[in-house]
A = this chain, B = another copy of it.
Amino acid sequence: MAFEITKELLENVAIYIQNGNDNELNKLFKEMHHADIAEVLEDISFEEAVYIIKLLDSETTSDILIELDEAVREKIFEQLTAKEIAEEIDKLDTDDAADIIAELSEERQEAVMAQIEDEEHVKKIEELLSYDENSAGGLMAKELVQVNENWNVLKCVKEMRIQAEEVKHVHSIYVVNDAGQLKGRLSLKDLLVASTRTHISEIYIPKVDFVHVNESAEDVANVMRKYDLEAIPVVDDNDALVGRITIDDIVDVIKEEAEKDYQLAAGISQDVEADDSILDLTKARLPWLILALFGGFISVSILGGFSDAMTTHYQLFFFTPLIAAMAGNVGVQSSAIIVQGLANDSLKGSLWKRLIKEVLQSLINGFVLALILMSIGMLFLKFSFELGITVAISLVTVIIIASIIGTFIPIILDKRGIDPALATGPFITTSNDILGILIYFSIAKLILGF
């Protein structure tokens, strides 16, 4: 059932547009899901995409627009009047509407908002725009079904029918009191089996998960995932029900968070994809490489400072990439484990316990590796014992220190409100490279005395 864009499809679209065959285009796109149409629009020329957006009815195009890549959507909006954009916004749920409005310039925002006819809709969008986009308020939609605890099932069903008209997916029916405070929920299943004259206060479930409007998107995701929720109501400081968040938005949050962490660990500084332009890709990659280059300069200087060893113990220099690589690898391992623990909110115990654990682990890893190094090095690569023991001791020391740094930098960043994932990748590898080389040559100097 997977949709695939075929060459034939794209050719047909191009021909229909060339011939102004609007009927065929309408027919073609009517059969397609808006997410698929969005994919097609990203694959054809920009002029063709604008032609199709202008052709299709705003019910469909509004759904298409939210699926488009932000960059493409921005370009298309440049071709539309404030009134045309307002028509699209009008058709969207408040959360999607607010997301799109937020992308416009302030000037354009005002112009578009002035053109939206439904004042209620405008007010709701303005409220949503006031929240941080990475908070529950920034994720939630105002569309939800809520009933008063004092109603009976008959009145409730009647009201629900009206409210359900503007809610795409009804997950739960939220129960509020006269002050609008969240009291509980009615499950659809319960409603299906209840008799019409029952009072809501008798059948509602008072236990309901909810989040506060200022809670972070990541925390909301953790709560919804843990309790397997498909929607969660959002309350304000007065416990008043102000919106609800659905799982499809959370799926995107989880995906984006994970991709961001992954990209940071890989040394890519902004959200890029393989098919972005060379310029975008370069902008995302070059800064980290420049950082690594400057790290490289430092290691060049350190090695230069130990150049005396060149004459007496030149073999030491053969091991610098090995020591640097081990330091980098160990650091990335440690920091990745901590970053995931922080993201899943699963780190327990004191910092001291963590320090001891990390050192013990590094000792085990270090001794196994040192043993392999000594035996292979002396048996096959003909190291002198002096050289072997120097490299081995350095290796163990470097592994311990690299793992401590890898563990604590993310924890410190997180405590200071900085994304701990920044600590993984090039940052950790570069600083551990430098430190590893410095430790290695310092130990060598101590043992071999050059």
Chain A residues close to B by CB (< 8 Å): 1-2, 33, 35, 43, 157, 160-161, 164, 169-170, 188-189, 192-193, 209-212, 219, 223-230, 247-248, 250-252, 254-255, 258-259, 261-263, 265-268, 272-275, 278, 281-282, 285-286, 288-290, 292-293, 295-297, 299-301, 303-304, 307, 310, 314-315, 317-326, 328-330, 332-333, 335-338, 340-341, 344, 346-349, 354, 357, 360-361, 364-365, 368-369, 372-373, 376-377, 381, 399, 424-426, 429-430, 433, 437
Contact = CB atoms under 8 A, between A and B. Distances in A.
Contact of A340 (B2, B43, B273, B433): B273
Nearest to A316: B317
B336 A319 contact: no
B329 A288 contact: yes
A252 to B, nearest CB: 7
Nearest to A35: B226
Contacts of A1: 209-212, 223
Instruction: State the 4 A-B residue pairs at the shortest beta-carbon distance, nearest first.
Output: A296-B322, A258-B258, A266-B336, A274-B341
A131 B432 CA distance: 46
How many copies of this chain does the complex contain? 2
A36 to B, nearest CB: 8
B320 A373 contact: no
A346 B193 CA distance: 45
Contact of A293 (B209, B322, B426): B322
Contacts of A192: 157, 160-161, 164, 170
A289 B429 contact: no
Nearest to A376: B297
Contacts of A35: 226-228
Name the prevailing secondary structure of the A interface residues: helix
A293 B373 contact: yes
Given A267-B329, A274-B347, A274-B354, 15 more contacts: A1-B223, A35-B228, A160-B192, A230-B248, A250-B251, A265-B266, A273-B344, A275-B346, A290-B368, A297-B322, A299-B325, A300-B321, A301-B381, A324-B324, A328-B429
Contacts of A425: 332
A224 B35 CA distance: 11
A227 B33 contact: yes
A303 B381 CA distance: 12
Interface centre among A170, A228, A376 (most CB of B within 10 A): A228
Contact of A273 (B290, B330, B337, B357): B337
17 contacts: A161-B193, A164-B189, A230-B247, A258-B258, A263-B340, A266-B336, A266-B337, A272-B337, A281-B361, A285-B365, A297-B322, A300-B321, A301-B381, A310-B310, A324-B324, A324-B325, A429-B429
A167 to B, nearest CB: 8
Given A219-B2, A230-B248, A307-B314, A329 B170 contact: no
Nearest to A354: B274
Contacts of A335: 266
